[in-house]
Structure 1
Amino acid sequence: MLGALLAVGGPLSSCNSVDSAVKEISYPLRHEDIIRQQARDKNLDPALIAAVIYAESGFISGRTSVAGAEGLMQITPETARDIARRSGGTAFTLEDLATPQINISYGSYLLRELLDRYDGDVAAALAAYNAGPGNADKWGGSQLKADEIPFPETRAYVEKVLTAQAEYRARYNKELGPAP
């Protein structure tokens, strides 16, 4: 099937090789310029931002969760309003969450805030991103161990993002740029 897509000018025909096609299918990457900019602006690993986008939306902009979270980094309107207010940004509109630049900016802002709250502990910040800071605090905050997270969905989310972060770093180091 993959060979057929490459041979007949299908969606993968622009890939240089089967390896790059497999890389793109298993760990897609879009909006590298925005990810690099937000990583620089907020002192984040661009591979972490890409991994959160991968876990939250699979790089599909129009996704909406059952909880009403929107866009690439699955930000709720309430969280977006709060971030817009605290960051000194422009007045928030719901349409902002569909804009990759704004959605990635808000998601990166939240990641930076959570990493600061949990003393740089990525697992704790990811648990808070997924299940809320109140839950992450109850589970030990910056002392949290990913394999001891009591919510199976959050434990799987943290593991998925950490695995994806390593994959994005290994596969897309040139495109994403260095970690801080």
Structure 2
Amino acid sequence: MKFLRKTFCAIVFLVVIIAAIGIGSRYIIKEKFFPYKYQQYVDMYSSQYNLDPLLVLAVIKTESKFDDDAHSHKNAVGLMQITVDTGQWAAKEMGYNTFSKEDLYNEEYNIKMGCWYLRRLNDTFDKDMDLTIAAYNAGPTNVQSWLDNRKYSSDGKSVDYIPFGETKKYVDKVNTYYHIYQYLYDKKDDYFEADKVVDLMKSFLNVHFLS
């Protein structure tokens, strides 16, 4: 029953996407599924920390679906789902004199800290975006342990197999959302090609409904 419900939702979503593309407009997709919310803060801190704002949007959508009041069973809080422990450490590293859990519910504070942390992870893992995304979910210590283990990494520089199912799905989802955001908001001509659209739809179906 759960699988059938997921499949039905997937079909409804795909019909909406196809209809939107068919009338030559991406407005419906942008507004209903992939909005560019908190643009002022996303653009400002993406620029400050040298990140693609569309990647930041993909992370926010994956983490909280743009709910600034979101919190998880792991004590992760706000738009970019920063844990209190990580927030306390990051605040000190960023030069803040004080920190409280309530700070993480502030949209600007949360996005700034999330962008800072993504930049920190990206520098730690030699600009490898998949490792950066994995570390944002599973923590840098776990990712480094995978790199050090030949069972998971053949070259010590990239991970061939992510042993955490949640993290594997997380990386796939962020990457899929990132590509969709690029399709919707970038001006690259190749993102309008039919095969690109089909690939994006397949990826979305896989990570959001079938995995």
TM-score (ref. length: structure 1): 0.81
Structure-2 change in CA distance of 1:76 and 1:61 (3 Å): same
Matched, 1:66 2:73: yes
- Match 1:143 to one of 139, 157, 161: 157
Which one scores higher on RCO, CA 8 angstroms, separation ≥ 6? 1
- Match 1:157 to one of 170, 174, 181: 170
Larger Cα-atom Rg? 2
Corresponding residue for residue 56 of structure 2 = 49
Any stretches of 5+ residues in structure 2 without a counterpart? 1-11, 13-23, 149-155, 188-211
- Offset at 1:22? 2.5
**Following superposition of structure 1 onto structure 2, how do residues 13-162 of structure 1 map, counting pairs within 5 Å?**
19-140=26-147, 143-145=157-159, 148-162=161-175
Any stretches of 5+ residues in structure 1 without a counterpart? 2-16, 175-180
- Alignment deviations for residues 129-152 of structure 1 (CA, whole Å, 9 cap, x no partner): 10111110122177233x611111
SS at match of 1:61: coil
Which deviates more, 65-74 or 17-26? 17-26
* C-alpha separation in 1, matches of 2:33 and 2:137: 22
* C-alpha separation in 2, matches of 1:143 and 1:60: 35
- Alignment deviations for residues 34-60 of structure 1 (CA, whole Å, 9 cap, x no partner): 000011110111111111101000111
Q: Is the contact made by 2:30 and 2:36 (CA closer than 8 Å) also made in structure 1?
A: no
The CA RMSD measured in Å over matched residues stands at: 2.1
Which deviates more, 93-102 or 20-29? 20-29
Aligned length: 159
- Offset at 1:18? 6.5
SS at match of 1:143: coil
TM-score (ref. length: structure 2): 0.70
